[in-house]
A = this chain, B = another copy of it.
Amino acid sequence: MSTSAAPVNLTDRLAQFSELWSQKKVAALNDYEVKLAKLKGEFVWHSHEDTDELIMVISGRLTIRLRDGDVVLEPGELFVVPRGVEHCTVADEETAILLLEPAGTMNTGGAGGPMTKAAEILG
């Protein structure tokens, strides 16, 4: 077996970094990327005009603020933020998430600002 045929263990990969609000690529699916991130605090309001965004909570608790209400995700729960929908993620405790969206999708969407950061390859 080549090493590319190894499974991705989410817990192991999360142990490889501690930086908050930094997306780490762990797998590719066609032209989509599977990314991990650790969050604590509040992100910036933004939207992705060209794509939906899948967010799954692995540990902790995530509130996704939408303009018409909140979606709260516990571990083992996922939500797809539709394209064009403004959202803002908030985590009171450190929270680990899995993200899935097309490669090159920026974390702050069209909002920009100091928290804008390209995803990095992990490991």
Contact = CB atoms under 8 A, between A and B. Distances in A.
A102 to B, nearest CB: 8
Given A32-B32, A76-B10, A76-B11, A27 B5 contact: no
Chain copies in complex: 2
A111 interface: no
A93 interface: no
A94 interface: no
Interface of A is mostly: strand
A17 interface: no
Report which residue of A7, A34, A53, A76 has the largest number of chain B beta carbons within 10 angstroms of its beta carbon.
A7
B1 A27 contact: no
Interface string A71-85: 111101111100100
7 contacts: A1-B68, A8-B78, A10-B77, A11-B76, A27-B78, A28-B80, A29-B100
